[in-house]
Structure 1
Amino acid sequence: MSVLDMPSILRRSDSRVPRNPPPLASMLEIRCNETHNSSMAHPRRNPMARFLPHASPVALTLLLVALLAAPVTAAELPSTVSKGATLVEVFSSAAFHEGPTWDPATGKLYFTAFFGGEKPNQQIIRLDAPGKGTVWLDKSEGVNGTWLSLDGRLLGAQAYGHRLISYSFGPKGPADAKTLAINTKWHQPNDVCQAPNGNIYFTDPDFANQKTSKVYLLKSDGKATVIIDDTPVPNGLITSNDGKVLYVGDSHRKMWRSYPILANGTTGPGKDFFDPGTKNMSAPDGMTIDAKGNLYFTGRGGVWVASPAGKPVGFIPTKEFCANVTFGGADGKTLYLTCNTKVYSLAMNVSGGEHAARAERKGKKKGLVGLLRRTLKPAGRILKGVGKAIDKIGDDDDD
């Protein structure tokens, strides 16, 4: 098993599937040369704030006008980050990393990797331990965004294969692969998510011309339907925890939009949802959601956290371009960030939306099983008694 040297950091100007990342290294196992804490600066508070009580009415009026005219920003770390937590590098390689998904059954993080050079390749990596990853799937045909389906499989948006694909989790790789949808006319499926009712949504951005991008709805019948075509370059997407809103990042306008999800799974008219007041104009990419409904948007300098109402909650700065993010860990309170050639973890005090939903479904299942046991156990005793009585009658007839 060969070891990849840690590359220098590369700055990425957009969020399309990379065509020419760092060179491919043939390997069965990837190791990180070092794992360390990366300090995450806490923005300083305004030192003039303490003098506001003594300011004149005119000064206060001018200050109020300035505040109202200022762009909406979130200068501090979100309160959802654990106190004192910093970004911890858990993996690094020569690839551009994307599409992280945590599988609770195996207790592992899976993410996608894009290698360039003379022999470009794409893979899905499984993080076995800090600094140690195993190639779970080689030659993935450009699987970019991923998602844990309701039935415990890995959904993937396959850019170069023009497919939406589903994998079962095997110890050495996918135990089986299923094509859920395919269309060679699609540009390059980029990201995917699943709503609580089972409907699947995915983006197909037109990075080249920014004219024919689409967002699709895929139902259980296998038919993909266009539901959004008014976003120049739709990238990452996710539904609200209740499945009533679809959030989509626009890599062209460098902001995020929201769409109401109708009863039939399609969407109503969208609106601009979140646009941070920052000069950093790196393109929006992947996203995730926590149990409280807060959205975690990658792009524009790091990870922006917005409330369900579209208000800024906080900002997680990253040194590299952050392509995607997801919650994981046994308790669902670890945030994983794929940032160019690195993967980071960050301790949180809130669990991910998917983790909370799984716990709720598990609780309901246990409750149903308990109800059935309480209901059927007495009935079983009665039936057993009836059976014995019938057997006795049969024995008497034989006599």
Structure 2
Amino acid sequence: MRPLRTRSTKTRPRANGEPWRRALPRFPRRVLWALVAMLTGSARAIETNMPPTIVPGARLEEMYADPRSFGGLAWDPAAQKLYFTVSGKSKEDTCILRLEAPGRAVVWADRTEGVNGILLSRDGRLLGAQAFGHRVLRYTLGEFQPRRVETLLHDDRLNQPNDLVEGLRGNIYFTDPDFANRTKSGVYLLRRSGELVKLISDMTLPKGLRLSNDGRTLYVGDSHEKLWRSFPVMPNGITGPGKIFFDPPVENRSDTDGMTIDELGNLYLPGRGGVWVVDPGGKALGLIPAPRFCSNVTFGDRDGRSLYLACDQRLYKIRARVRGALFVRQPRH
């Protein structure tokens, strides 16, 4: 594992003729990367510090590299392994990998028909949103491959199921973005009984989603609007009217994607430039800078204090001061 280091950029003239290099010392060193990556050319640029939930001085460690794109992440505490989805240039080139050691991964499930978002359920099985097969799947974990694959939902009217989260009594919430026309996207509730309910239809490209630790709030990212919304969850699982939860205070924003949550209820929202950390009230605590576009995050390792980042052709991790919510006994919402 090797720590990543920032590299100096070429001197570029400012509008007033002053070179960038002379202006850089005005900012703390730890925010220069974030400013260059996210805020160049932004009239509303703000300084973003490393979030207090990250170990002071911690750096990203490269865990795995692959020429394909990385998607969903899921940590299995029983096996102490990280599962992550990979997609290439064709529908056939999609699979689930399992990280065995830094720099080494094995194919755990091949030709998954575009399984993207994955999540470890409370009963220890792996849930998957299958884009091209229009399914929600459940994998029984095996050492070298799935012991069993179950179809919880198959509906060809769906677009491309993208991400999912487990809710009350085994109910599943999942996003279904309409990438083709951007007119039929939705966020759905799949009840344990098999009933499918469309909850949200006014988001252009919903992708990542997560429930609060008490199960009373559903957070959803809109990849088109490039912001995150929150929706109250009623006792019957239905969501109420939503509102903007976090609208990044920069102009050079990127697509929203997967997300995770820590034991304190803070959300980790990845994108271009790194990962925003936002408290339950929607206040930004800082930005974890990353050298590549980041699509998903999850907590892992034995103590639950490592944050894994799925970025463009790279998998990283960084040490945190808090545990992921998965590692703390939460109310059974």
Please say whether Structure 1 and Structure 2 have the same fold, judged by a TM-score greater than 0.5.
yes
TM-score by length of 2: 0.86
**How many angstroms apart in 1 are the aligned matches of 2:286 and 2:171?**
30
Which AA in structure 2 matches 1:216? Y
**How many angstroms apart in 2 are the aligned matches of 1:83 and 1:44?**
21
**How many angstroms apart in 2 are the aligned matches of 1:45 and 1:202?**
44
Which AA in structure 2 matches 1:179? T
- Residue in structure 2 matched with residue 384 of structure 1 by the alignment: none
What is the CA-CA distance between 1:83 and the residue it aligns to? 1.4
From 106, 112, 128, give the equivalent of 2:85: 112
From 282, 285, 297, give the equivalent of 2:257: 285
**How many angstroms apart in 2 are the aligned matches of 1:302 and 1:318?**
4
**How many angstroms apart in 1 are the aligned matches of 2:260 and 2:317?**
14
What is the CA-CA distance between 1:46 and the residue it aligns to? 5.0
**How many angstroms apart in 2 are the aligned matches of 1:115 and 1:87?**
25
**How many angstroms apart in 2 are the aligned matches of 1:350 and 1:195?**
23
2:227 counterpart of 1:255: yes
Taking a change above 3 Å as real, the CA distance of residues 45 and 147 of structure 1, as seen in their structure-2 partners, is farther
2:315 counterpart of 1:343: yes
**How many angstroms apart in 2 are the aligned matches of 1:274 and 1:282?**
13
2:74 counterpart of 1:101: yes
Which AA in structure 2 matches 1:301? G
Matches within 5 A, 1:1-399: 35-39=1-5, 46=27, 73=46, 75-116=48-89, 120-195=92-167, 197-357=169-329
What is the CA-CA distance between 1:186 and the residue it aligns to? 0.5
**How many angstroms apart in 1 are the aligned matches of 2:170 and 2:45?**
35
Taking a change above 3 Å as real, the CA distance of residues 123 and 204 of structure 1, as seen in their structure-2 partners, is same
Question: Which range moved further: 219-228 or 244-253?
Answer: 219-228
Hey, which of these two has a bigger chunk of helix by percent?
1
Taking a change above 3 Å as real, the CA distance of residues 217 and 73 of structure 1, as seen in their structure-2 partners, is farther
TM-score by length of 1: 0.72
**How many angstroms apart in 2 are the aligned matches of 1:95 and 1:207?**
20
1:105-135 CA-to-partner distances (Å, cap 9, x unmatched) read 1110000001126x84100000000000000
Aligned-residue Cα RMSD (Å) equals 1.9
What is the CA-CA distance between 1:39 and the residue it aligns to? 2.8
**How many angstroms apart in 2 are the aligned matches of 1:73 and 1:295?**
20
* 4+ aligned runs moved over 4 Å, structure 1: 43-47, 70-74
1:200-233 CA-to-partner distances (Å, cap 9, x unmatched) read 1000001122111000011110111101111111
**How many angstroms apart in 2 are the aligned matches of 1:130 and 1:301?**
23
What is the CA-CA distance between 1:164 and the residue it aligns to? 0.3
Contact 1:93 1:341 in 2 (8 A): yes
| 3-state secondary structure, aligned to 1:37 | coil
Which AA in structure 2 matches 1:131? G
Contact 1:197 1:243 in 2 (8 A): no
**How many angstroms apart in 2 are the aligned matches of 1:305 and 1:265?**
26
**How many angstroms apart in 1 are the aligned matches of 2:154 and 2:55?**
42
Which AA in structure 1 matches 2:83? Y
Larger radius of gyration: 1
Which AA in structure 1 matches 2:3? N
Which AA in structure 1 matches 2:154? I
| 3-state secondary structure, aligned to 2:158 | coil
1:267-308 CA-to-partner distances (Å, cap 9, x unmatched) read 000001101112322201110000000000112422111000
Which AA in structure 2 matches 1:92? A
**How many angstroms apart in 2 are the aligned matches of 1:197 and 1:40?**
46
Question: Which range moved further: 198-207 or 232-241?
Answer: 198-207
1:218-250 CA-to-partner distances (Å, cap 9, x unmatched) read 111011110111111101000000000000000
- Residue in structure 1 matched with residue 17 of structure 2 by the alignment: none
Which AA in structure 2 matches 1:85? A
Taking a change above 3 Å as real, the CA distance of residues 78 and 44 of structure 1, as seen in their structure-2 partners, is farther
What is the CA-CA distance between 1:168 and the residue it aligns to? 1.0
Contact 1:73 1:276 in 2 (8 A): no
| 3-state secondary structure, aligned to 1:38 | coil
Taking a change above 3 Å as real, the CA distance of residues 163 and 130 of structure 1, as seen in their structure-2 partners, is same
The count of residues paired between Structure 1 and Structure 2 equals 302
Contact 2:272 2:292 in 1 (8 A): no
Taking a change above 3 Å as real, the CA distance of residues 265 and 196 of structure 1, as seen in their structure-2 partners, is closer
**How many angstroms apart in 1 are the aligned matches of 2:271 and 2:263?**
21
**How many angstroms apart in 2 are the aligned matches of 1:237 and 1:143?**
16
Which AA in structure 2 matches 1:82? V
Hey, which of these two has a bigger chunk of strand by percent?
2
Which AA in structure 1 matches 2:187? V
Which AA in structure 2 matches 1:109? L
What is the CA-CA distance between 1:185 and the residue it aligns to? 1.0
**How many angstroms apart in 2 are the aligned matches of 1:237 and 1:308?**
14
**How many angstroms apart in 1 are the aligned matches of 2:122 and 2:47?**
33
Q: Which runs of 5+ in 1 are unaligned?
A: 1-34, 48-69, 362-399
